[in-house]
Amino acid sequence: SGCSSLVSLYFFFIPTASTNPKAALKSKIVAEFRPQSLIDELLLYKRSEDQIELKEKQLSTMRVDVCSTETLKCLKGKDSI
């Protein structure tokens, strides 16, 4: 009947991942997503932020002679060498 051909036409034009590049890309991203690597990166970032905050607190409590190159070398620490 005419109704069944209309229904088949409707379903024929529904975009799928194979015909829609954006949908294909989204499917690929979801399939390749590895939450553990994201968690690891966020933990590294948090650790770095904590280290910066600690050094800022240490600096704020110190009295430093900024004219002394030796003092400035010590403040830089081993991370910046």
pLDDT above 50 (res 2): no
Q: Give 12-29 pLDDT, tens digit per residue.
A: 555 555 568 898 999 998
Q: Give 19-75 pLDDT, tens digit per residue.
A: 688 989 999 988 888 889 889 999 999 999 999 999 888 888 877 666 778 877 777
How far, CA to CA in Å, does 47 sit from each of 23, 32, 41, 44, 67? Answer: 36, 26, 10, 5, 31
The model scores a pTM over 0.75:
no
Residues 6 or more apart from 71 whose CB is under 8 A from it?
64, 65
pLDDT above 90 (res 79): no
12-15-16-19 Cα dihedral, nearest 10 degrees: 100
Residue 78's pLDDT is what?
A: 55
Token output for 32: 């390749």
